[in-house]
Structure 1
Amino acid sequence: MADSREDVDWSGLLHAEGPASDTPRRLAALLGDDVKAFVDGYTHLWSTTLRREGRAWPATAPTAALVAELLDDPLLGPDDPSLPDAMLVYLYVVGVAADLGEGAAEIRARAEDRAGELRAWTDAHLSDDADGRARMWQDGTGLGELVLDQAALACFDLVPALLRRALPHRASERARRGTCAAAAVGSLARHPSASAHRPELLDRLTSMARAAASPYDLATILIAIGHLGGDTRPWLSDPHAGVRGCAALAPGLTGDDVAERVRLELAGSPRAFGESFGDMAPPLQFQFAPYQDLLTPAGLLRPDEAGRPTPGGAAS
């Protein structure tokens, strides 16, 4: 972890609170035994290094690189096996933020054309106070929006490395960790570099789905399969409403008669979908955009939205 921290000029990056120079120190606390520092670091990871709805700040990509290292560090949560699961969920969110597809080339060209302006805007932003930084997002130059698009592009470029770190965890002895890894793979493997390996990945995810021990794990894996364009039709008749619903939300099943009937059923009572998982929340993907927006009647009838990249937009 130390090498990754030293290779990055964190003071030249921004996150939700301004300069990101504090991020390495706060994340290092996740490996320590200071409870207060640990809570601060965990909160910082989720609330400061990511934008609302899981979009990227300039600090997000290097943070994700650190998270990938934390994932395999034996000092991370020796008494709390859920912490590596949380690191995999973070990688899932970064994969969603990085899902630029063919748009990556256009962002790269724009960022290269305005590289000097972007650096100057970022330097000014980092040196200003909170009020000044807020005004800069509305300065009419479009540079703030491009800074955020460039942040998503940095995540896009990092995805192949993150995917390599997430893949081995699908075979974890802990079922929930394997499920979190499946979710991460479902977003990260949408990257163009993974296209040749996607059929094999889908075969393995399908095997995981068939062996899943709980409706929550099964539904989470089915969303990952759908996100990669796999076939979730075998689960459209599952007796569990939540499992049927997640199978029917696969973007590739838009227009499928059976899937549409399942979605119509769910749209009549979206609350029933969440309640079908009992004490568990709906699958982890529903904590973040774009799946978060599907738990409405309109969203349930437009599952194709879950397969689309999330644009940068203004700061949030």
Structure 2
Amino acid sequence: MSTDVAWERLFHAYGTATDTGTALAGPLAEAEDHLWSAILHQGSVWPATPPALRAVADRLAEAPALGLAFVRDVASAVRMGDAAEELRAEVAAADTAAWTAAYVAADEDDQVDMWDDETGDLVLAEAALACWDLLPELVGPVTAFLDDPDPGIRAGAWATTAELLAHPGAADRLPVFLPRLAGAAEAAVSVRERASLVLDLGRLGGDPAPFLTDPDPLVRCAAALTGPLADAPAAHEELLLAAVRPDALDPLAGIPGFGGHSPRQVLIATLTGRVPDFSRLYEPALAALPHAFRTAPCPDLGPYLRVAFPSGLPDDPTPEQQGLARELAARDELWDPANGNRRFTLGALGLPDDREAWRALSRVGTSRCRG
């Protein structure tokens, strides 16, 4: 129980963890901000994270959606696989207990200075290992929600279970859960739930191929995105069909299997990683232009540009390269001089941040053709 933890001897992202004990003493739903800011801070874990993780897992029934999401996010943050034992040896050779005691006793300025000592990094590694070691124990509490009447909670429970079963210490449970997961996906009435379960099935190494013929294109696309179908031509075709209408995946936003990322951007990253022929990617690339350069590096257009122009602008462009250059240069809204996202993205790809250069590429060979 959280009341048994000496929180004053631990710290989180903002300092000594005495406030964690207070936060977890009340309703779990009211601790949400503290959990995702102090305890799991921008994907980093702290000495206060392992006992907080255990406390949340003990209270899943109180706020299942929140608790499952927190367990899943911590599990994702500390995923380390075979690297765990090497890291464990480094931690064992350091006096992490003394460093932690000194840290919680220091004032804020001294705490900042203490991070110059590499022992601090090992203290955080020790916290990650403690969370990692706890994950197999959480399979039981989490799987209690796999048949919850709420489809959102069921999907969250399966996604969290998938994260936990990726741990080597839980791998022996896969033969039990994979058939159950496949059956749950087949039985799911909701397209959103079925797509979520198919993503989890593929992640755990199950067979998502039957879902490539699902009646709903969103489910077919979810199956096509999974690792087991990375080399399947039929999966490539589904991704290409989806990519020409990237907003069509918006109904899947927020599905746990996307890890907080935009489904559209996951689709683009997956497609461009599997299909190296830009002539096949040309239409999807044009469909990405309305979303271009909103962030940097641009996850919508950037992957297509990387495939289209792997060595900069070519001297002898293909029709598809010229077409993309023409359409890119034609969109006034993409060439705002203040758009740093465009400059950063193009620069990182070794491409010119010069509208006229793109216009010139689109015209290469036209004078020869007229002559």
TM exceeding 0.5: yes
Contact residue 240 and residue 276 of structure 1 kept, 8 A: no
User: How far apart in 1 are the matches of 2:92 and 2:44?
Assistant: 21
2:294 — aligned with what? none
* 1:89 lines up with 2:64 in the alignment: no
Shift of the alpha carbon at 1:243?
A: 2.2
Shift of the alpha carbon at 1:136?
A: 4.2
1:8 — aligned with what? 5
* 1:106 lines up with 2:78 in the alignment: no
User: The residue matched to 2:166 in structure 1 has which SS?
Assistant: coil
Deviation track 1:18-71 (CA, whole Å, cap 9, x = no partner) reads 11121122122216xxxxxx64x221122221121x342222221111111111
Contact residue 32 and residue 66 of structure 2 kept, 8 A: no
Q: 4+ residue stretches of structure 1 with deviation over 6 A? A: none
**Aligned residues, how many?**
274
Contact residue 2 and residue 52 of structure 2 kept, 8 A: no
- Where do 5+ consecutive residues of structure 2 fail to align? 275-371
Amino acid paired to 1:61: P
User: Which residue among 35, 39, 53 is the counterpart of 1:45?
Assistant: 35
What is the percent sequence identity of the aligned residues? 35
Deviation track 1:177-232 (CA, whole Å, cap 9, x = no partner) reads 22111111010011112222202111111111111121221122122212211111
| Pairs within 5 Å for 1:125-136 | 125-136=103-114
User: The residue matched to 2:47 in structure 1 has which SS?
Assistant: coil
1:312 — aligned with what? none
User: How far apart in 2 are the matches of 1:143 and 1:263?
Assistant: 46
1:209 — aligned with what? 185
1:155 — aligned with what? 131
User: Which residue among 14, 18, 22 is the counterpart of 1:25?
Assistant: 22
**Of the two, which has the highest radius of gyration?**
2
User: How far apart in 2 are the matches of 1:162 and 1:268?
Assistant: 41
User: How far apart in 1 are the matches of 2:246 and 2:105?
Assistant: 46
Deviation track 1:137-189 (CA, whole Å, cap 9, x = no partner) reads 4x2x4333322222221111111221111112112222222211111101001
User: The residue matched to 2:231 in structure 1 has which SS?
Assistant: coil
Contact residue 50 and residue 131 of structure 2 kept, 8 A: yes
1:284 — aligned with what? 256
User: How far apart in 1 are the matches of 2:52 and 2:263?
Assistant: 23
Shift of the alpha carbon at 1:297?
A: 2.4
Contact residue 50 and residue 57 of structure 1 kept, 8 A: yes
Amino acid paired to 1:284: P
| Pairs within 5 Å for 1:34-73 | 39=30, 41-52=31-42, 54-72=43-61
Contact residue 27 and residue 42 of structure 1 kept, 8 A: no
User: How far apart in 1 are the matches of 2:126 and 2:264?
Assistant: 25
1:120 — aligned with what? 98
* 1:12–1:205 CA distance, 2 compared to 1 (3 A): same
User: How far apart in 1 are the matches of 2:12 and 2:124?
Assistant: 10
User: Which residue among 179, 197, 201 is the counterpart of 2:173?
Assistant: 197
User: How far apart in 2 are the matches of 1:293 and 1:47?
Assistant: 27
RMSD value, Cα? 2.6
* 1:185–1:121 CA distance, 2 compared to 1 (3 A): same
User: How far apart in 2 are the matches of 1:107 and 1:126?
Assistant: 24
Contact residue 3 and residue 21 of structure 2 kept, 8 A: no
User: Which residue among 224, 244, 253 is the counterpart of 2:229?
Assistant: 253
Shift of the alpha carbon at 1:300?
A: 4.7
Contact residue 267 and residue 298 of structure 1 kept, 8 A: no
- Where do 5+ consecutive residues of structure 1 fail to align? 32-37, 77-82, 304-316
Q: TM-score, normalised by structure 2?
A: 0.66
User: How far apart in 2 are the matches of 1:283 and 1:169?
Assistant: 17
User: The residue matched to 2:145 in structure 1 has which SS?
Assistant: helix
* 1:148–1:292 CA distance, 2 compared to 1 (3 A): farther
Shift of the alpha carbon at 1:299?
A: 4.8
Amino acid paired to 2:266: L
* 1:242 lines up with 2:222 in the alignment: no
Greater relative contact order (Cα < 8 A, sep 6+): 1
* 1:175–1:44 CA distance, 2 compared to 1 (3 A): same
